[in-house]
Homo-oligomer: A and B are copies of this chain.
Amino acid sequence: MSPNTITLPAAADFHLHLRQDEMMRMVTPMVSKGGVSLAYIMPNLQPPISNTEQALTYKKELEQLAPNVTFYMTLYLSPELTVDEIRKAAKAGVAGVKSYPRGVTTNSDGGIENYEIYYPIFKAMEEEKMVLNLHGEIPSDPESDICVMNAEERFLPQLEKLHKAFPNLKIVLEHATSKAAVDMVKSLGDTVGCTITVHHLKLIVDDWAGQAHHFCKPVAKYPHDRQALQEVVTSGHPRFFLGTDSAPHPSHTKETAHAHAGVFTTPLVFPYLANIFETLGCLDKLENFACHFGKKFYGLSQKPEFENATVTLEKTETDVVPNQFHISEDGTPSSYGAVVPFWAGKPLGWKITKHF
């Protein structure tokens, strides 16, 4: 029988989008509300975070909005990035560099396709112990039968090649969605990790067929792919850890002819996970997945005053996921619209009753 109350260390989210402006001011204070005290921040802003100074400025903004969260920053990989900038970023505590294939996700038009031009960058990152974060998809190409359903699997040889070229470079395959990706990461060395989102543990392709709020990139795939993700977290594999890829979009940009890609989970990360892990019968694996494996892989820690922060979750039969969150600092309706969270309106079974 499952417990009715669980107390865990605050979680670490190793893949998070906190946006800019009003959206940032709304979402950032929700990080700790979802039970997360360490957040690894993606650089795909407009313009992208491409140098140390931008990263530090952004970090300062986030820290002011959420002083109880420890933020780690990333740079956006592009041909403009220099080895000198990598050295400088590493000294300033920037933790990683994120690579997006061209055109695959939000604000990734400046992304990359051929990694070899970046080998001097990767070598410097390896030396500086910075982490390479890969959005692991090949751009769709009907001529080669590449589409959103196999774009991740077709990317995996690139991951393998990079790992062989830079065996000491820490590489994270972000938001894995396929059995092929799980198998590949497992087969590689200890310097290769993998984030798994909340929503990909729940969704398959049917769930985003006509359902804009479940549409994200990479798209959720076959039932057997979801099963592989569930099995690897159930097994407690230490190189697979939480990265929510929570990506808020105003609902009017989702419920429209061309929906933006992204699922919003930040306000309820821990309750979602408790629900999922309980359903999978592996609540005992939740702590390592959400709190420890990622930090251990990265070698990162919270600010000292939050080292021992904990979160208490309790069972609830009445609470449901809010239908929407208004895009405003105080939660009141605004001209920016609202964001519809994952599983809106549905009961989760768990709520957070004690924060840090």
Contact = CB atoms under 8 A, between A and B. Distances in A.
A340 interface: yes
A210 interface: yes
Contact of A257 (B148, B149, B211): B211
Interface string A239-270: 00000000000000011111111000000000
Given A147-B223, A222-B147, A223-B142, A259 B206 contact: no
A138 to B, nearest CB: 12
A222 B255 contact: no
Most buried by B among A204, A205, A210, A260: A210
A144 B261 CA distance: 28
A128 to B, nearest CB: 37
Interface stretch (A66-74, A212-220, A331-339): A212-220
A258 B206 contact: no
A208 interface: yes
A146 B227 CA distance: 13
A215 B210 contact: yes
A147 B257 contact: no
A21 to B, nearest CB: 23
A258 B210 contact: yes
Interface in A173-225: 204-206, 208-213, 215, 219, 222-224
A226 interface: yes
Contacts of A205: 147-149
Contacts of A213: 257
Contact of A212 (B143, B210, B223, B224): B210
Contact of A142 (B204, B211, B260): B204
B255 A256 contact: yes
A208 B211 contact: no
A208 B148 CA distance: 10
B206 A140 contact: yes
Contact of A255 (B209, B224, B255): B255
A147 B206 contact: yes
A84 interface: no
A204 B151 CA distance: 13
A212 B212 contact: yes
A150 interface: yes
Contacts of A222: 145, 147, 149-150
A248 to B, nearest CB: 15
Contacts of A211: 257-259
Contact of A223 (B145, B208, B224): B145
Nearest to A141: B223
15 contacts: A142-B204, A145-B224, A147-B206, A148-B209, A149-B149, A149-B222, A150-B222, A208-B209, A208-B210, A209-B215, A210-B259, A210-B261, A211-B258, A212-B259, A255-B257
Interface of A: 140, 142-150, 204-206, 208-213, 215, 219, 222-224, 226, 254-261, 340
